[in-house]
Amino acid sequence: MYDLYVPILSDLDIPMPYEDAKSLVKEALIPLGEPYGKLLDDSYTKGWIDVYETPGKTSGAFSWGVYGVHPYVLLNYQDKLDDAFTLGHELGHAMHSYYSNSAQPYETSQYRIMVAEVASTVNETLMTYHLLEKETDKMKRAYYITQFLESFRTTCFRQTMFAEFERNSHRMAENGEPLTVESLSEMYRKLNELYYEGAHVDDNIAIEWMRVPHFYNAFYVYQYATGLCSAVKLADDILHHGAVERYLTFLQSGGSDYPIEELKAAGVDLTKKESILASLDVFTQYVDELDELLK
């Protein structure tokens, strides 16, 4: 299993100055329409974004919606392609907050955790598609695809395994079964053997569950998987099925309805397997292309 942490390709050194990153994000998100693009321009020019590292500044990247004003984005930009994707990701959160706050009263302006990563991942997916659309260099294409596929593995596949472990743990408690280190570790080991069939599952993996802090926030992790699958389906609908207005309406929904109903109105019905399978079809498509590129 340790081999899964070895990159398929070495990192490519693709410099991305901040001005170029702004252009990349703007171009990739053109399918979302002119009003969305105008808001991106505002974010660049009207003080929404704290871009670079400074002494005493916190690390990482964040977005924070402020009702009645505009969102704020914190970055620690270092002129790398990954930083450009971080910009697109955080602006996805920012635009979700902006549209939500603009359309909803304060009481229903906050979108729920279940949809919190959808807009940010839609942006990242559109950026990936944009790069692939114009890239002819085989190694760069392979690199972009590898990064995209790895997000599927860690966000969809692995988090689904985590969610199954969490669900089974709660079922044990509901059935009156004792939750011991031994019983939880044995269950976690078996799940790894199921999900990573064909890989050597080291005995030590059985205790990995102890280091996952998300399990202390009940039923959180599955939303990573539903969020990614929803975002990939929405990005495809935006590009190929004229779903921009449905998507923007979703951004405006805030917390006005149940998340699953908001997604359904946008074109992603998570009560049916087809919405999940549609995103997995995209995964399969890019696995096949990567195989061809690396022959």
Domain assignment of residue 267, yes or no: yes
Percent share of the chain, pLDDT over 70? 100
pLDDT at 169 over 90: yes
Structure tokens belonging to residue 258: 């149940």
Domain assignment of residue 12, yes or no: yes
Inter-residue contact 145 to 175 (CB < 8 Å): no
pLDDT at 168 over 80: yes
CA-CA distances (angstroms) from residue 153 to 81, 221, 251?
20, 14, 26
Mean of per-residue pLDDT scores for the chain: 96
pLDDT at 1 over 80: no
What integer pLDDT is reported at residue 249 of this predicted model? 98
User: What total of structural domains would you count in the chain?
Assistant: 1
Tell me whether residue 90 is one of the annotated catalytic residues: yes
Which entry of 90, 124, 166, 262 is annotated as an active-site residue? 90
Q: 235-248 burial, b for 16+ CB within 10 Å, e for fewer?
A: bbbbbeeebeebbb
In terms of DSSP bridges, do strands 72-74 and 62-64 run parallel, antiparallel, or are they unpaired?
A: antiparallel
Phi-psi region of 226 (alpha: psi -120 to 50; beta: other; left: phi over 0): alpha
Domain assignment of residue 110, yes or no: yes
Residue of 170, 206, 176 whose CA lies nearest to 191: 206
pLDDT at 33 over 90: yes
Residue with tokens 């004003």: 69
Domain assignment of residue 112, yes or no: yes
Domain assignment of residue 245, yes or no: yes
Which domain covers residue 114, as residue numbers? 2-139+223-293
Q: Helix or strand or coil: residue 49?
A: strand
Domain assignment of residue 154, yes or no: no
pLDDT in tens, 89-104: 999 999 999 999 999 9
Average pLDDT over residues 73-82: 97
CA-CA-CA-CA torsion sign (87, 256, 152, 284)? negative
CB proximity list for 48: less than 8 A, separation 6 or greater: 42, 70, 71, 72, 73, 94
pLDDT in tens, 229-272: 999 999 999 999 999 999 999 999 999 999 999 999 999 999 99
Domain assignment of residue 186, yes or no: no
Q: What is the CA radius of gyration of the chain?
A: 20
Domain assignment of residue 167, yes or no: no
| CATH code of the domain in which 251 resides | 1.10.1370.30
Instruction: Find the farthest-apart pair of alpha carbons in the chain and give their distance in angstroms, rounded.
Output: 58
pLDDT in tens, 115-158: 999 999 999 999 999 999 999 999 999 999 999 999 999 999 99
